[in-house]
Structure 1
Amino acid sequence: MTPGPERGGRVVVGSALAVLATWSGLLALTGLVAGRRWLLVSLVAVLVVAGATGLARAATRTWWVPTAVGAFVALVGLVLRYGAPPGRPQFLPDLDAVARAWTTARQGVQVVNDSYVPMPDVRPGEMLVVIGALAVYLLVDAAVLTLRVPAVSGVALLALWIPAIVLGFPAGAAPMFWTACAYLALLAYGAAPLHAHAGRVRRICTATVTTVVLACGSLLAGPPLMDLPGWASVALPTFGDGPVGPLELSDDLDLRESLGARSGQVVLTYRVSDPSAPDGTAGADSVVAEAAVATVDPSATPAPTGEPTEPTTPAIDARLVGPLRAFTLTTFDGRLWERTDNDQLDPWDPAALLASDPQVLGTAPDPAVGSLAQVDVEVGALRERRLPVSTFPRTVAVGGDWGYDPLRDEVVGERATSDGLTYSMLVQVPTLTAQDLRGARVGRPTDADLYTALPGTEHREDIAALAAQVTEDSVGPYDQALDLQTWLRSAANFTYDTRVPPARTSDAVWDFLEDRRGYCVQFATAMAMMARTLDIPSRVGVGFLPGQRTDDGEYVVTGRLAHAWPELYFDGLGWVRFEPTPASQSGPPPVWADPFSAASGAGSFTEEVPQQQQGTAPTAAATAPATVPSGVDEETTSWVPVGVSVALVLLVAGAASVAALLVRRRRRWVPTPEHAWWALRRELARLDVRWSDATSPRGVVRQVDQVVAARTGRGLAGPPRDALERLARAVERARYAPTAEVHTPEELDAWVRQVRDGVRDALTQAAAPEPARIG
């Protein structure tokens, strides 16, 4: 006869073990989600539901009631926490709260899909994790106390580990150890006889001794294993996941390698100051004030074309100095970037500038040429023979045996950097603008053939044809480079993803352009190779993004900020950095390569690193779902890190979800400006009004107006024209601005319908025959 549910004092022990097992399993997600708030909320939620199931089990003998009560309490708790109105608590659930909770869950799915690992610890994502934790606990509780088959609980606990295993971001040995211990305790609980006192002391002693031996063995064996060479070293693009040991950037970047867990090691700390200030520093207040002047007002209207704008003084901070480059790569064979060192290293004058531009190399810093910034760096857990320096001309003062490679603009040492090494730079940031680049021709650097060489892969001509198509409307090398960058950065075209799909051809770049998913190395390589097909010399720079500013004004750079970007060579300007990697990973592009900044008249270097990338936990405001770039095709949605856990609950709620979808008002759901933009593109394509992927949003406005004017005799005007301009501006801000404007789906949908109806009505009226006159 099948035994019934657990009764008596064993229920308390079983419930406690189920809670501990679920808590241990949640530790598997620490490598996937940033911060710790989600973990605390999940632990409390599991404890509350466990209390509810325990009380229900004590009050009834019906086997399914405790699980049903626990599920009901979990549902009510989720609605009250995540469906409460903004700014005030909710004590009783209602239909409005249910709707808000459902919207938050949908936003959580969008955040998870659009985020890279680690996912930001924001409220919608937190909700999904809590749902998964409660579902796992209810399954473990039912298996252990209701069905009395504790072995089955391992399936539910494994669900919390599958995302980390599949994505390649394991949480480490400690969570695995505690989860295994909790599961073994559940098995021992199920194997213990219900009414047997004989041998109790012996069983307790045996279990205690075994537990102590396993724990001591793990504690003694763990540290020596972690100290073995290579366990904690980091190589881009894998970035590593060890909490100890030095970090080293890889010389050979393989586009087939997935981007592994990023190291939280602090590799650099530095300060940026204004050398012209009386005390040689830039006060926090002045930096904030200057940054505020340089920030683009989201509600401001761009100055009309040809109308002069007031120049702004750039803030002397890390955003002005930009990323710190360690080295560059030139030779690419279709899959692997390879590096060849230059044996001829030159000494240099610490007071003279080092630069890729021969006309600047060896000259003294000149404040009339650009802004000067003093940068004082201290090396942390970085073991690198090339010194990370600014991409702009700079002086370098460092102790030890170091030489300068003028061909690659690199500072190379005989030995690798070590913890505590300090060096300083005086960076000369030129006043480079889009107008300067638009008037420049393609340059010819030393060994120019190396920088235009293309690998002889089977898809070489396909890449060249695609580059020509993207830049077909461009005039000059700068416009070509800008179109390539715009096309790659668009969230509607590509998705930042740390995973690499299986190889389909011998050309990794072509596979990336077909899959439309990748990380910084692939975005940088694709733009460099496509630029070379246009006969623009290009290379890839490797280094670190600026970092997180602390309260005392110091910038902290961790292994998470290791980055790669393309550099193109222009006559008279040298190597110029571009940023094709989407903003979710890299932040805004350089000001000279930012169409939005150029259109709005912003002239300062305001490059910010997204909070999601930095070593500290991101704030909810910085990673709110409304600002997360979207554009992920529903048919190619990326793996949801907690999807396996949440799927169990979604199956139960499936019927209700389908019913809600059936009764929902029939309308197009356009949650982001990018979704709305592509919805509009599909609608206008049906009216034979089309544009290419490389056309900017403002260019689309002009092109649609021209097409309507050519076919009707007058351009698009009135509310449809206004709606098109508003939508174009929203897309620009979503792609290029540090923070995007918040628009509701209803507002975006209204713009799409207004433009579609206006264009259709104008074309229909023009095509209708003129009525005959009587008389």
Structure 2
Amino acid sequence: MTPTPEQGARAWLGAALGVLATWAALLALSGLIVGTRWLVVAGAAVLVVGATTALTRALTRRWWVPTAAGAAVAVVGLVLRYGAPPGRPQFLPDLDALRRAWATAQQGVAVVNDSFVPMPDVRPGEMLVVVGAVAVLLLVDAAVLALRVPALAGAPLLALWVPAVVLGFPAGATAVFWTATAYLALLAYGAAPLHVHAGRAPRAVVAAVTAAALAGLTVVAGPPLMDAPGWASVSLPTFGSGAVGPLELSDDLDLRDSLGQRSGQVVLTYRVVDPTAGPDAAADDPGADDDAAGAPGPEDADDDATGPPVPEDAGDDAAAAPAVDARLVGPLRAFTLATFDGRLWERTDSDRLTDWDPALLLSSDPALRGVPPSPEAGTLAQVDVSVGALRERRLPLSTFARTLTVEGAWAYDQQRDEVVGERATREGLTYAMQVQVPSLSAADLRGAEVGVPEDAELYTAVPATQHRDDIAALAAELTADAQGPYEQALALQTWLRSIANFTYDTRVPPARSSDAVWDFLEDRRGYCVQFATAMAIMARTLDIPSRVGVGFLPGERNRDGEYVVTGRLAHAWPELYFDGQGWVRFEPTPASQTGPPPVWADPFAATTATDQVPEDDLDAVEPGAAPSAAPTAQPSTPPSSVDDASTPWVPVAVGTAVGTVLLLGAGALVLVARRRRASAASPEHAWTLLRRELARADLRWSDSDSPRAAVRRVRTTLEERTGVPLAGAPLAALEHLATAVEQARYAPTPAPVRPGELDAWRLAVRAGVDEAVASSTARRREQVTAR
């Protein structure tokens, strides 16, 4: 049967409700796109198309004509706005305008595919939003006014929410409220009889009773549901979206999963004191202020790792005992993963569980396992932990050897160095550890050989993936100059941590192959799970046993002296096995997210920050500043050939004037581009520019070289080629720049450096190299002339 469309004032009311509902649903995208211009333009397009359908419906009784008229107006408007030639308007569509509009839409698709949330508000992306908004309006309008089935309008309105829900960036309660209210208004509009006064009193009574019943049900049933176990259980790496209910770490880590919004609930609180300092150690602890021990920011906190705080020399013994605090104890590891299939880390339960003596150490190192803690063997730290909103069958413990006292049915997994319970932890559970932190240094590891852990084949297996040989070849290339397994591991960590090579991002790009590790190494974007996995698998290709640890980072110290750990601090890192040292933690995730790596894996550990800050910038460093939680690099989008400015609506009168302006503008852009290319915005940018410039003089270094190694390589190569050493101001400038890069990569709070200083250092190095090359060339010419 042909549907009978709405007519008269009732049709105008339905059209207005459809426009309002589409506007409300558009708010769902506010968490995905930067700015508000896209929202204004899409809202205006919805209003124009909605008015068109309403006017058409007033002129005809054919149910499909208003929808067709609205679609036609939308197409013409899109072509005129997004297909007009850059710099001038177009009042009538033609084939050229249609092709330009189609090209803009294709660029919009590329922007969406290549961007990371939040997406920049650019013209091609705006076009896709406008197309989607208009389509939703036409579908809502047809469902409510043409087909007269308002309930169907929920499907297109929900479609605007799908991207935000799938990507894990919901717009918030306000958008949900207005979308739901608009939809309920559409349902009420469809349920109201044509004669609105009919049955007014009964309808009012039914509405009031229903509203009261819903409100009462919400009040009564809400709290029990929120307290129910598993109501908001979350997992690494997806982490759910709310802060309600207990948190549980996932046993299976999928490298294809993006990192969603993480829980801000408190999962652990603990105190750290020096057991050798007496009962008043906590009160007298000089570190009892509010300094953060690896505290994360609200967005990227999952990877704010820390190592021991004292800058011990990587090649010498520590000159002083380190401070006993959370950074010394390090992250609290819940469990480890060893089985990887190319995409997913999987875990199987162990049947080799034993009891333990609370007075003796538990450790992955057989030499330490089962002996009492001793101050002569390392720094002792007493750690008293209280569990919060954590439901985990494995206790989070220090990665170092430790004693453990805990109530309940718990057993020790000797192979994995884990404590496993018959039931999950509960809020209020307490346990105590006495951690023995060894004075481990780079010198200890540099002389160590690869160890053979129990079930060694489990920790050296490399999955037979599509790009297994490519990964092995890359690892061999990066470690070609390394001597021994420790230097190989350090070369891999240095390469992965460099923000010149990789970008920290919680959004995982779409798969390009069946090998998730290779896709990460190609895309150069990811978060802690990707970085940890890449280093672990690359280490296995070098025959170094490796595994991935999962747990929590130290947290932030509050005014009461307790360290507070939230769900945002869930983290993953690689552990490599060395003979005589057991499993050793490394930190390949970029420094802007993790702070410095462990002291034994930190090439910057021997240098203090104050030695490297220019005197003019000493006052610019805020004392006690926390590590930056901003993304390592802003997401980039492909260049667009379509002008991003709004299309002018007044035609230009004189064509020659336009040509002159365009020529002058092009010349100005060329000058600005040249100036930008010549100026460095950050130490990494200056380092990249200098590396490119020195490569023209055949002075190169490897990606796995640390900045200091690069300095040594440049000096050695230049002197070998020219016979002239790099010395004086050019050498000092190169060392200053290398130090700035080291701080940017490893320091928790890098000292600010002005762009002018970076450019001055870079130009000084170039001048010194050019002078050495020129001197060598002149000397050779003199020798030829003398002959």
When normalised by structure 1's length, the TM-score is 0.69
Shift of 1:411: 0.7
Shift of 1:578: 0.5
Q: Does 1:746 align with 2:756?
A: yes
Q: Does 1:357 align with 2:357?
A: no
User: Is residue 272–residue 375 contact of structure 1 (8 Å, CA) maintained in 2?
Assistant: yes
| C-alpha distance in structure 2 between counterparts of 1:254 and 1:232, whole Å | 20
1:367-382 to 2 correspondence within 5 Å? 367-382=375-390
User: Is residue 312–residue 599 contact of structure 2 (8 Å, CA) maintained in 1?
Assistant: no
1:316-715 to 2 correspondence within 5 Å? 316-599=324-607, 622=626, 630=632, 634=636, 651=646, 661=669, 664=672, 666-667=674-675, 668=677, 669-715=679-725
| C-alpha distance in structure 2 between counterparts of 1:31 and 1:556, whole Å | 31
User: Is residue 331–residue 553 contact of structure 2 (8 Å, CA) maintained in 1?
Assistant: yes
Give the corresponding residue for 1:179.
178
Shift of 1:734: 0.3
Shift of 1:403: 0.8
**Number of equivalences:** 633
| C-alpha distance in structure 1 between counterparts of 2:159 and 2:602, whole Å | 43
| C-alpha distance in structure 2 between counterparts of 1:211 and 1:170, whole Å | 31
Deviations 1:639-696 (A, max 9, x none): xxxxxxxx9996589x999888566483224221111111111112222221110011
Shift of 1:597: 0.5
User: Is residue 592–residue 627 contact of structure 2 (8 Å, CA) maintained in 1?
Assistant: no
In structure 2, the CA distance between the partners of 1:311 and 1:685, relative to structure 1 (3 Å rule), is same
| C-alpha distance in structure 1 between counterparts of 2:527 and 2:313, whole Å | 37
In structure 2, the CA distance between the partners of 1:745 and 1:543, relative to structure 1 (3 Å rule), is same
User: Is residue 689–residue 707 contact of structure 1 (8 Å, CA) maintained in 2?
Assistant: yes
Deviations 1:323-359 (A, max 9, x none): 1111111111111112122212111111111011111
Give the corresponding residue for 1:275.
275
Shift of 1:705: 1.3
In structure 2, the CA distance between the partners of 1:439 and 1:651, relative to structure 1 (3 Å rule), is farther
Q: Does 1:727 align with 2:726?
A: no
Identity of aligned residues (%): 62
| C-alpha distance in structure 1 between counterparts of 2:434 and 2:647, whole Å | 62
SS state at 2:758 partner? helix
SS state at 2:385 partner? strand
SS state at 1:595 partner? coil
1:239-318 to 2 correspondence within 5 Å? 239-279=239-279, 281-283=281-283, 286-287=286-287, 311-318=319-326
Paired AA for residue 179 in structure 1: W
Shift of 1:320: 0.8
In structure 2, the CA distance between the partners of 1:562 and 1:418, relative to structure 1 (3 Å rule), is same
User: Is residue 545–residue 557 contact of structure 1 (8 Å, CA) maintained in 2?
Assistant: yes
Which of 1 and 2 has greater Rg? 2
Shift of 1:632: 6.1
When normalised by structure 2's length, the TM-score is 0.68
In structure 2, the CA distance between the partners of 1:687 and 1:473, relative to structure 1 (3 Å rule), is same
Give the corresponding residue for 1:194.
none
Paired AA for residue 677 in structure 1: W
Paired AA for residue 287 in structure 2: V
| C-alpha distance in structure 2 between counterparts of 1:288 and 1:504, whole Å | 49
Paired AA for residue 393 in structure 1: A
Deviations 1:604-643 (A, max 9, x none): xxxxxxxxxxxxxx9996477xx95745685679xxxxxx
In structure 2, the CA distance between the partners of 1:677 and 1:199, relative to structure 1 (3 Å rule), is same
SS state at 1:282 partner? helix
User: Is residue 233–residue 242 contact of structure 1 (8 Å, CA) maintained in 2?
Assistant: no
Shift of 1:751: 2.4
In structure 2, the CA distance between the partners of 1:396 and 1:634, relative to structure 1 (3 Å rule), is same
Paired AA for residue 240 in structure 1: G
Deviations 1:395-451 (A, max 9, x none): 100001111111111111111111111111111111111111111111111111211
Paired AA for residue 311 in structure 1: A
Paired AA for residue 267 in structure 2: V
User: Is residue 290–residue 315 contact of structure 1 (8 Å, CA) maintained in 2?
Assistant: no
| C-alpha distance in structure 1 between counterparts of 2:768 and 2:212, whole Å | 71
SS state at 1:458 partner? coil
SS state at 1:240 partner? coil
Moved more, 213-222 or 577-586: 213-222
User: Is residue 309–residue 601 contact of structure 1 (8 Å, CA) maintained in 2?
Assistant: no
User: Is residue 720–residue 754 contact of structure 1 (8 Å, CA) maintained in 2?
Assistant: yes
Give the corresponding residue for 2:111.
none
User: Is residue 32–residue 169 contact of structure 2 (8 Å, CA) maintained in 1?
Assistant: yes
Paired AA for residue 749 in structure 1: D
User: Is residue 29–residue 160 contact of structure 1 (8 Å, CA) maintained in 2?
Assistant: no
Shift of 1:169: 2.4
User: Is residue 398–residue 424 contact of structure 1 (8 Å, CA) maintained in 2?
Assistant: yes
In structure 2, the CA distance between the partners of 1:753 and 1:286, relative to structure 1 (3 Å rule), is same
In structure 2, the CA distance between the partners of 1:683 and 1:158, relative to structure 1 (3 Å rule), is farther
In structure 2, the CA distance between the partners of 1:741 and 1:600, relative to structure 1 (3 Å rule), is closer
Paired AA for residue 576 in structure 2: L
| C-alpha distance in structure 2 between counterparts of 1:511 and 1:706, whole Å | 36
Give the corresponding residue for 2:776.
766
Give the corresponding residue for 1:60.
none
Moved more, 452-461 or 276-285: 276-285
Deviations 1:50-76 (A, max 9, x none): xxxxxxxxxxxxxxxxxxxxxxxxxxx
SS state at 2:256 partner? coil
SS state at 1:325 partner? strand
Runs of 5+ unmatched residues, structure 2: 1-15, 41-114, 134-143, 145-153, 295-310, 611-621, 649-660
Moved more, 256-265 or 365-374: 256-265
